[in-house]
Amino acid sequence: MSKRARLWRTTAGLAALAVGAGAVPATAAGVRPGWAVAVVDQASRRVLVVQSADELMAYRGPDRQPVVWSWSADTAGDLDDLDPHRSWGAPDEAKSRVRDGRRYLLVTASGGLAAVVDTATGATAWATDTGEHANPHSAELLPDGNVAVAASTGGWVRLYAASLGPRTTAHAEYRLPGAHGVHWDGRAGLLWALGDDTLTALRVGGTAAAPLLGVERAVPLPEPGGHDLSPVLAEPGRLWVSTGEHLWRFDPTADRFTRIRLGGEEAERDIKSVGDEPGTGRLLTTAPDHAGPCTWCTSVLTLHRPDGSRSLPGTHLYKARWWTSWGIGR
């Protein structure tokens, strides 16, 4: 963390942050236009949508709580058949995607669950249990309604024919050691997949009911340990890539990685998630703070350019994403 970073802590614990046990429609819960932040909290086993970066920086609570919406598989009654007590263990992804004018939350959990949730209703549009040893780490929604999932321990990227129904398990598979991230680039018509050592562009073929995956090209990472993959919103077509030691921006037109410096090696190491705020370009990252029982988690959201941080005491945060209106057709 930069020496210039400011750290404001609330005296309220996680219990005070709750907005209720189940999911409340995002529109009814007060998620205003603008760029809120979705975080994956493994302590409460919930996805929490919190206020914008500026509001978080100004927050001095505990009278004004930052959580405005939450969701958990534990309280989603339509997921009981997928054993969320196990499959929702250690949730590790939360993405906002817009398709056909509707916003969806994409989630995965190390316990095996992958799901797409309609944020207007809280209903599950599609979900599957990939198994307790697959360790899914990210998911992506495609324009036809199908869903890509990356599983690190399983060592694969799957494209599920989710457009066929809410429990469809039919899929195409591409083997990728350490698969951690997937992102759909609608401009190029490519599904990008991040593994331990490569960033791979996959071409989607077949039909929505019977999809196929083929390799367009595979680009070696500048160093091992690929972890997070997300779009650079300020430069459409480019990608953020985090590895074990550094943060990179990838230009697919030249297959070139450029190292992004955040003010010190400490700030660049072991980044679990990264993204730029639409309009401002401000970066949001999460990385383990080694301050609690979870060695891969943190309770701090870190912002860069300008620098700042926000602590949510009692949380075990894994990833944080800007709650943007990213459309999967892009």
Find out whether 138 and 152 touch, Cβ atoms under 8 Å: no
Asked whether residue 34 carries a pLDDT value surpassing 90, the answer given is no
Asked whether residue 23 carries a pLDDT value surpassing 50, the answer given is no
**Gap between the Cα atoms of 234 and 72, Å rounded:** 31
Q: pTM here?
A: 0.88
Find out whether 226 and 180 touch, Cβ atoms under 8 Å: yes
Find out whether 142 and 204 touch, Cβ atoms under 8 Å: yes
Asked whether residue 328 carries a pLDDT value surpassing 70, the answer given is no
Tell me the pLDDT tens digit for each residue of 197-240: 999 999 999 999 999 999 999 999 999 999 999 999 999 999 99
- Tokens at 173, concatenated: 């598979």
Tell me the pLDDT tens digit for each residue of 105-148: 999 999 999 999 999 999 999 999 999 999 999 999 999 999 99
Sign of the alpha-carbon torsion through 21, 22, 26, 30: negative
Give the pLDDT score at 57: 58
Q: Which long-range contacts (CB under 8 A, 24 or more apart) does 127-132 make?
A: 127/79, 127/82, 127/166, 127/167, 128/82, 128/160, 128/167, 128/168, 128/169, 129/82, 129/83, 129/87, 130/154, 130/158, 132/86, 132/87
Tell me the pLDDT tens digit for each residue of 151-193: 999 999 999 999 999 999 999 999 999 999 999 999 999 999 9
Please give the backbone phi and psi of residue 84, each rounded to the nearest 5 degrees, phi first.
-60, -25
Higher pLDDT, 68 or 55: 68
Give the pLDDT score at 224: 97
